[in-house]
Structure 1
Amino acid sequence: MKIQTYYNHIRFYTPHHFVYYPVLTLFLAFSVYFAFTTNECLIWSFISAVFVFLLFLAYMLRQHYALTLQNRIVRLETRYRYFTLTGKRLEEFEHKLTDDQIFALRFAPDEEFLPLRCFKKQPQR
């Protein structure tokens, strides 16, 4: 298996990285320019603020989608690993584990995996 590095791990989504962000950045630049060079400063400042908000929202949604997908994949990996080791389904008691405990099981070696699955959900502080 190839060693994972930044260069073989990074991926670009063309519509997002090479269309949406550049066009939105261009619109933002023009709106800032017009805010300083025209008499309608207030409306162009508002339009600039909207474009800044759209850029921020797009960035934050991208992060949210990536983390949600990553969490789903980790859960599936843990379920598959448990099934491989025991022949039983993890879903029977998965609800007793916190997300952090499930994510931690991913890094446990096989001989420690089965005893660690017995953790109880800790009360919220």
Structure 2
Amino acid sequence: MKTQNYSNHRKYYPPHHFVLLPLLMILLIIGVVKSFNDVANQLNWILFSIVVFLLLYLAIMLRQHYALGNQNRIIRLEFKQRYFEIFGKRSDEIEEKLNFGQIAALRFAYDDEFKILLEKALKDNISGDAIKRSIKKWKPDFHRV
């Protein structure tokens, strides 16, 4: 597999991102344009546009909603486990001080950097994106949807 880093860590699902969503966007644009240009069938084109918009919205939201919610819980559990393994104590107080973006970003750091970046996140409240950009040796996560 290709080495993972900040610039390539996002994952795409081609049928969804490069076929279904662009097709729905094209249909929506056609429907909106036709609703202005085809006065005789304007109501039909408006209804068509509304239906396509709703399908587009559902395609975007439903595909990721359940999977990401579950993965976010797993990422929090991984943080708790990793914190316990490194420091030998529970992470409840620490976890309350971090937002999810920070917790998610820390998973890309190996243990030595994890300690440094965790301290920086707690002390300076740096963002998850800043944490990712600070990582020198990237620990890949190929399993995120």
- After TM superposition, the score normalised by the length of structure 1 is 0.54
State the 1:10 CA deviation.
2.5
State the 1:69 CA deviation.
4.2
**CA pair 66-101 structure 1, distance change in 2 beyond 3 A:** farther
Q: Is 1:74 paired with 2:52?
A: no
Question: Match for 1:39: what amino acid?
Answer: A
Question: Match for 1:25: what amino acid?
Answer: M
For residues 52-88 of structure 1, the C-alpha deviation after alignment (integer angstroms, 9 at most, x for no partner) is 22223333445645642442232221342255254x9
Aligned residue pairs total 105
Partners of 2:18 and 2:26 lie apart in 1 by: 12
Partners of 1:71 and 1:25 lie apart in 2 by: 29
Where does residue 19 of structure 1 map in the other structure? 19
Question: Match for 1:21: what amino acid?
Answer: L
Question: Match for 1:71: what amino acid?
Answer: N
Any stretches of 5+ residues in structure 1 without a counterpart? 113-125
- After TM superposition, the score normalised by the length of structure 2 is 0.49
Q: Is 1:44 paired with 2:45?
A: yes
For residues 12-65 of structure 1, the C-alpha deviation after alignment (integer angstroms, 9 at most, x for no partner) is 211111111121122213322332325121121011012122223333445645
State the 1:103 CA deviation.
5.6
For residues 84-103 of structure 1, the C-alpha deviation after alignment (integer angstroms, 9 at most, x for no partner) is 254x9x7xxx7xx8x74686
Where does residue 54 of structure 2 map in the other structure? 53
**CA pair 80-103 structure 1, distance change in 2 beyond 3 A:** farther
Percent sequence identity over matched residues? 39
Structure with the larger RCO, 1 or 2 (CA within 8 Å, 6+ apart): 2
Partners of 1:74 and 1:101 lie apart in 2 by: 16
Partners of 2:66 and 2:55 lie apart in 1 by: 16
Root-mean-square deviation over aligned CA pairs: 3.9
**CA pair 10-75 structure 1, distance change in 2 beyond 3 A:** closer
| Larger Rg belongs to | 1
**CA pair 66-34 structure 1, distance change in 2 beyond 3 A:** same
Q: Are the counterparts in 2 of residues 31 and 48 from structure 1 also a CA contact under 8 Å?
A: yes
